[in-house]
Amino acid sequence: MTTSALDGIDGDKNIVTDDETVIVDTVKYSGLIPGKEYTLNGSMQVKKSDEDGTLTAEPLEVDGKPVTAETTFTPETASGEVEVTFTFDSRAIADKTDIVVFESLERTGVEIASHADIEDGKQTTTVTRPQIGTTALDGHDGDKNVVTDGKTT
């Protein structure tokens, strides 16, 4: 089983913070039994680095609840792909946070495969917070010194 997580809005790896963020994880599978029902359980993990540089995973939580998604499907062939869609509010997530999708494949409630690699770039998206900047200049001559008169720009 392999996966590839992308921004559900524009299909890239950058997630712009919003009240409704969508990440679509495309899961490719092989070796399944056609006609049998399977469930993919996905969870979102925040990539963290310890003091010694070791990478760790911490469940992404929004309003105190972990961000998860589930898709149940019945494959027509032994190999194929299916999408798992996560929808959540990302406005409180810090800029440049890496979010990694972990997936678990189950049949009749028993896990038969998983993909949970905190270092897998295909499973990783990065949060980007919108930013703005301003510059104020004297409208008369373009410098920073404003001369007061009856009409100042």
Q: Whole-angstrom Cα distance, residue 100 to residue 120?
A: 8
Residue with tokens 């998860």: 68
Q: What is the per-residue pLDDT across 8-33, written as a single tens digit (0 to 9) for each?
A: 889 899 899 999 999 999 999 999 99
Domain 2-128 sits in CATH at 2.60.40.3930
145 compared with 2, residue with greater pLDDT: 2
CA torsion 102-107-109-112 (nearest 10°) is: -50
Which pLDDT tens digit goes with each residue over 54-102? 888 999 999 999 999 999 999 999 999 999 999 999 999 999 999 999 9
Are 54 and 33 a contacting pair, CB within 8 Å?
no
Beta strand ranges found along the chain (DSSP E): 2-7, 14-16, 21-29, 38-49, 55-59, 61-62, 65-66, 68-73, 80-88, 98-107, 110-115, 124-128
pLDDT for 150 equals 75
pTM beyond cutoff 0.75: yes
**Given this model, what pLDDT does residue 132 score?**
81
Spans of all domains in the chain? 2-128
Amino acid 117: pLDDT: 92
Question: What is the per-residue pLDDT for 52?
Answer: 85
Local structure of 122: helix, strand or coil:
helix
pLDDT at 23: 95
pLDDT in tens, 97-147: 999 999 999 999 999 999 999 999 999 999 998 888 888 877 777 788 777
130 in helix, strand or coil? coil
Residues in Cβ contact with 68 at an 8 Å cutoff, skipping those fewer than 6 apart: 41, 42, 43, 44, 86
